[in-house]
Amino acid sequence: MVETEALVSVRGEIAESLATQSYSEGLQAELLDELCAIDNHLGRTALFVMSREAYQPPASYVGVDNEEVMVTQEMALF
C-alpha cells in the first residue's frame, strides 16, 4: 500500500510538472514514458494522449485527479 501511494504521488508530480513546465520533445516523451511505466506497474492500462494534445489519465484512477497535461505530439501509450 505504501508503494502504491508513493507511485501515485510520483505520478502526480510528473503530471503536474508536464502541465506547468516546458520541456524539449525528447524529455517530454521520457516523462510520458515514466507515467506509462508507473500506470503499468499499478495495473492500470490504456493511457492516451488525445489528438487535441492533452494527456488525460483513465477515469478509474483512485485518488488521482483527471488532470490534463499539454503535450506536443499525438500518441497512444499502452
Q: What is the pLDDT of residue 42?
A: 76
* DSSP H helices in the chain: 2-20, 25-41
What element of type H or E holds 56?
A: strand 54-56
Q: What is the pLDDT of residue 55?
A: 53
Taking a C-beta distance cutoff of 8 angstroms, is the pair 46, 75 a contact? no
Q: What is the pLDDT of residue 6?
A: 85
Walk along the chain (78 residues) in steps of 10 and give the mean pLDDT of each run.
Answer: 81 82 82 81 55 50 49 41
Distance CA 51, CA 75 (A): 8
Q: What is the pLDDT of residue 59?
A: 58
